[in-house]
Amino acid sequence: PIYFVDYKCSRMDTVRASQELMKMKIRHKQLGCVADNKNQRRSFCMIATACVSHFGLNDNCYLLTVLRNFRDQDLLVTPEGTKLVNSYYDLAPNIIEKVNASPEASELWNEIYQQISSWVDLIERHETDAVVVRYQEYLSSLINRLFV
C-alpha cells in the first residue's frame, strides 16, 4: 500500500506551487495554450496517460495507479492541492496536443516518462513535497519550451 505524509507540514510548498501554477496559467492563457473546453478535463494523469499510451502501456499500469492515488488521497484533500489539480486540468490537453504535433514528440515523451517515473519514485519514498515542487518546475519548463 501507498502511505502519504501529512500535508500539514508541507502546506507552504503546496501553496507556493499552486500560486506559481496559477500565475503560469494566466500567462499561458494569454499565449493561447490553455484549454477553453472544460469537457477536455478527464483525469489528473492526462499527460501521464498519453505518455504511457505512447509506449503501449495499459491505462491501469502501476505508474498511473500511483499518480491517481497521489491525486485522490493527497492532493484533492486540501484546497491548495485541488487548485493545483484544477490548474493542471486547464493546461494538460493543449500540452498533449503540442507534444504530439512536435517533430521531437518521441524525445519529449521519453523525457516526460523519465520525469513522471521520478515523481513516482518520490511518492513511494513519501517525499510528497518534492513531487509537488518538481512537478510545478517541470511543467513550467515544458510549457515554456512548447509555447514560447
**What's the rounded Cα separation, in Å, for the pair 148 and 146?**
6
Grid coordinates in use for 98? Answer: 503540442
Contact 5, 132 (CB under 8 A): no
The DSSP H or E segment spanning 22 is: helix 11-30
Predicted model pTM:
0.72
Nine-digit cell string for 72? 485522490
Spatial neighbors of 139 by CB under 8 A, at least 6 apart, are 21, 24, 88, 91, 95
The pLDDT, as a whole number, for residue 87 is 87
Give the pLDDT score at 142.
Answer: 92
Span 3-56, pLDDT tens digits:
223 333 344 444 554 555 555 555 545 444 444 444 333 444 689 999 999 999
Q: What is the predicted pLDDT for the residue at 89?
A: 86
74-132 pLDDT, tens digit per residue, is 999 999 899 889 888 888 998 999 999 999 999 999 999 999 999 999 999 999 999 99
Write down the pLDDT at residue 20.
54
